[in-house]
Amino acid sequence: MHSISAVILAGGEGSRLRPLTKHRPKPLLPAATTPILEHVFDQLLEAGVTDITVVVGYGRNRVQAHFGPTYRNVPLTYVTQEKQLGSGHALLAVESEVNGTTLVVNGDQIVESQIIGDVLETHDTDSAATLGLLNRADVESYGGVIFRNEEVTDIVENPQDERPYRFNAGVYAFEPEIFDAIRTAKVRAGEQSLIDAITELLESDAHVGGVISEGLWVDATYPWDLLDVSFDLFEAGLVAGSHDENVSDSATIHDSAVVREPVVIDADCEVGAGAVVGPYVCLGENTTVGSNTVVEQSVVDADTRIGDSATVIDCVTGVGVTVGDGTVIPGGRGDVRIGNRVFEDEYLGALLADRVADRGGSTYVPGAVVGPETFVEAGATVRGTVIEGTEVRS
């Protein structure tokens, strides 16, 4: 194909990542210091895509304002999914915008260009669809595919049985009949699903192919996953981790500070005297790390201020957070409550959502989740889930 068109499904909120998605959609959350969706764009372009349509919904104005009409000279067309009624419903929104073979990927998962390229190379127009597959063990958390003799025979979301599933990477090449399949497939829980549409193709005896790839696939389902996503990008070489490449020229690092690679230190950051940053630290744009402060294994978003003599380990922050002088986030495992669920023994020192203001001298119990606009009084102990706008007293 001389021209390769792709559709990115980026209309969802990412509710399981709240409170980080309170004010922005999951595709704009940072993987290292770069929005997840920007990584998706980069991998599509690396695979030779020449035209991109983005389905937006929740937070669509922020997505469009961030990226504008083009990305690295490739045109971006935005189509709005007015209500988030499933992945199939999202793809239907672009039916009038596409013609012929269409590559479809998710805008909130990072898929290496090798997987995309393998799908494009394998697909031919005799197949209604071609799926990118991986050899991974955790299919029950996502989706499984029964794949024999280069043919998909079944596709199941969150499979629970013991059949030999391949992992569904969420990379698809579709022919136009996918749109009728979406419309024909049964609506479940008020949503139209791409998985159900592919099942409809299989039941109509259309040929659905697949290809097993070895490229990187990473996803952040819960807030602490942003740590693993960034670390996986370091390990895969998608964030190089070397000082010359990943410390911005406009960053200021004191001569007595220690930077332990791999790290990413973005534009206009400042690291003070005697500070230790890294390993596995991502400092977003315009972040300040105070004197004699230690930051390890953390994703720190833009415009954050970490004071003097603080300790920040296994931490995820939102935008505009203040961590006061002498505050200790010691890191390690803790129980994390997300909504009505408690996740036991997760590595999360603390999650501080947008514009949390910590006045210093505080201590965070591992697993603490602090909602946006929260004020933490000096000397407080923070544990559990703190809702938005709370004042935590010492």
Q: What does the H/E/C string look like for the chain?
A: CCCCEEEEEECCCCHHHCCCCCCCCHHHCEECCEEHHHHHHHHHHHCCCCEEEEEEECEHHHHHHHHCCEECCEEEEEEECCCCCCHHHHHHCCHHHCCCCEEEEECCEEECHHHHHHHHHHCCCCCCEEEEEECCCCHHHCEEEEEECCEEEEEEECCCCCCCCEEEEEEEEECCHHHHHHHHCCCECCECCHHHHHHHHHHCCCCEEEEEECCCEEECCCCCHHHHHHHHHHHHCCCCCCHHHHECCCCEECCCCEECCCEEECCCCEECCCCEECCCEEECCCCEECCCCEEECEEECCCCEECCCCEEECEEECCCCEECCCCEECCCEEEEEECCEEEEEEECCEEECCCCEECCCCEECCCEEECCCCEECCCCEECCEECCCCEECC
Cβ-contact 295, 277 below 8 angstroms: yes
Which residues does the chain have with pLDDT short of 70? 1-2, 240-245
Ranges for all domains in the chain classified under CATH 2.160.10.10: 236-392
- pLDDT on residue 133: 94
CATH of 236-392, one of 2.160.10.10, 3.10.20.30, 2.40.50.140, 3.30.56.10: 2.160.10.10
77-94 confidence digits (pLDDT tens): 999 988 888 888 999 999
Q: CA separation (Å) from 56 to 60, 69, 202?
A: 5, 13, 29
Q: How far is CA 368 from the centre of its chain?
A: 21
Whole-angstrom distance, CA of residue 183 vs CA of residue 167: 25
Q: What is the pTM for the complete model shown? A: 0.90
Domain with CATH 3.90.550.10 in the chain: 5-219
Q: Tell me what pLDDT residue 240 has.
A: 56
Q: Which residues on adjacent β-strands are paired with residue 167?
A: 134, 144
**Among 219, 250, 281, CA closest to 39:** 219
Pick from 343, 348, 350, 380: nearest CA to 363: 380
What integer pLDDT is reported at residue 1 of this predicted model?
46
Q: Determine contact, residues 110/217, Cβ cutoff 8 Å.
A: yes
Q: What are phi and psi of 378, to 5 degrees?
A: -55, 135
CATH of 5-219, one of 3.90.550.10, 3.60.15.10, 1.10.3260.10, 2.40.50.140: 3.90.550.10
Q: Identify which of 241, 242, 277, 281 has the alpha carbon closest to the alpha carbon of residue 256.
A: 277
pLDDT of residue 215: 86
pLDDT in tens, 207-261: 999 999 988 999 888 888 999 998 889 887 777 544 556 889 999 999 999 999 9
